[in-house]
Amino acid sequence: MAKIVCVLYPDPVDGFPPKYARDGIPAVTGYPDGQTTPTPEAVDFTPGELLGSVSGELGLRTFLEERGHTLVVTSDKEGPDSELERELADADVVISQPFWPAYLSKARIAKAPNLKLAITAGIGSDHVDLDAAIERGMTVAEVTYSNSISVAEHAVMQILALVRNYLPSHQWARDGGWNIADCVANAYDLEGMNVGVIAAGRIGVAVLRRLAPFDVKLHYTDKRRLPRETEEELGLTYHPDARALARAVDVVSIHCPLHPETEGLFDEKLIGEMKRGSYIINTARAQIVDQDAVTAALKSGQLAGYAGDVWYPQPPPADHPWRTAPHNGMTPHVSGTTPSAQARYAAGTREILEDYLAQRPIRDEYLIVDGGSLAGTGATSYTAGTGTAPGVSA
């Protein structure tokens, strides 16, 4: 029998379950590339429920305990005395979410001799030391595509919120004011602007498609150029690297993985080369930008706005400079954990567990590490042997 440790974010402050705004969510059965949504044998939850917090348990307890397995669910994950640290000693499986990551460092993996599988409930597995996982012979899996569209919608929302100066305008209304000049002095039409994405994978392409109707000029950069028909359909301009794109656009939306080539990519120099009054939206990983350089650029006016939902560390300290920087539209790491997304990544987590516990192959598109090497999606998203360790991710 297996011991599964599941690290989830805390319940709502007013208790669990919350009062839901809607009675259900739309049924989604497939993704734009033809991949099907998760297909577990069954689920023990109602789609639209809060599954990502501790009491939601990803809907896994009945499934696991009826089969004799042990499930430990906790939000206590930091430090040597945390519940995660204590439970790792004899854990076979660790499940974590990017929004409340259980950082599986090389040292933690070494303390968990039974650990065979790390599952990301969602997408983005850079909170796991992939090199250490490869060395151990572990499997690392994530629920690919489960929340990609959720993140894309959040990025488009934040682009509009920054460019139209929505948050300060809303605050004037909340505070009883009617300060039209103050609201519109920093508000612009998105129409006609140059907007670019860094990395045109599932999320990046979804952002491009959602922005096309706004009559903007679309740009992208990626190691793998998109098919010509996609470029022509969306009117895309390709750039060979992030620097060339950043210099050419008014808005940058970041969607690349964090690895040594992208860490600190948007530093003081690159931000200084952008048009004055540019905007950056980052729903990828916090350390792709230099925290201090972004803060300074917001204060000087080099950046007209910065938004996103990724921080380092997560959760960030109360005095993190992005909490109070001018012209920021930051949120907690929530873009990929809507109840809609939770229904998919909870079902996908169960699908992975069903296959693993029955000793069946896990879907190739879910795999990041398997058989002592990068595999599946991981083979195209990460690079082994180049410091793919947690502690540099957000």
156-205 pLDDT tens trace: 999 999 999 999 999 999 999 999 999 999 999 999 999 999 999 999 99
- Give per-residue pLDDT as tens, 88-106: 999 999 999 999 999 999 9
Q: Does 391 map to a domain?
A: no
Which of residues 280, 297, 323 is at a domain's end?
323
Q: In this structure, are 116 and 232 located in the same domain?
A: no
Catalytic residue among 158, 282, 287, 314: 314
Q: Provide the mean pLDDT of the chain.
A: 95
Total count of domains within the chain:
2
CATH of the domain at 271: 3.40.50.720
Q: In this structure, are 196 and 142 located in the same domain?
A: no
Q: What is the pLDDT of residue 393?
A: 30
Nearest to 266, CA basis, from 251, 287, 284: 287
Q: Does 332 map to a domain?
A: no
Question: What amino acid occupies position 37?
Answer: T
Residue 304: which H helix or E strand, with range? strand 303-308
Which of residues 323, 352, 385 is at a domain's end?
323
| Structural domain harbouring 273 | 148-323
Residue 268: what are its φ and ψ, rounded to 5°?
-55, -40
Q: Encoding tokens for residue 17? A: 């379950």
Q: Does 392 map to a domain?
A: no
Catalytic residue among 333, 344, 350, 363: 333
Q: In this structure, are 185 and 297 located in the same domain?
A: yes
Residue 388, SS3 per DSSP: coil
Q: Does 369 map to a domain?
A: yes
Q: In this structure, are 117 and 156 located in the same domain?
A: no
Catalytic residue among 97, 147, 282, 342: 147
Q: Does 386 map to a domain?
A: no
Distance CA 296, CA 306 (A): 11
Residue 96, SS3 per DSSP: strand
Q: In this structure, are 140 and 244 located in the same domain?
A: no
285 catalytic residue (yes or no): yes
Q: In this structure, are 27 and 171 located in the same domain?
A: no
Q: In this structure, are 100 and 188 located in the same domain?
A: no
Q: In this structure, are 318 and 194 located in the same domain?
A: yes
Predicted structure pTM score: 0.94
User: Which pLDDT band holds residue 387 (cuts at 50, 70, 90)?
Assistant: very low
Q: Within 10 A of 277 (CB to CB), how many other CB atoms are there?
A: 13
User: Which pLDDT band holds residue 313 (cuts at 50, 70, 90)?
Assistant: confident
Q: Does 266 map to a domain?
A: yes
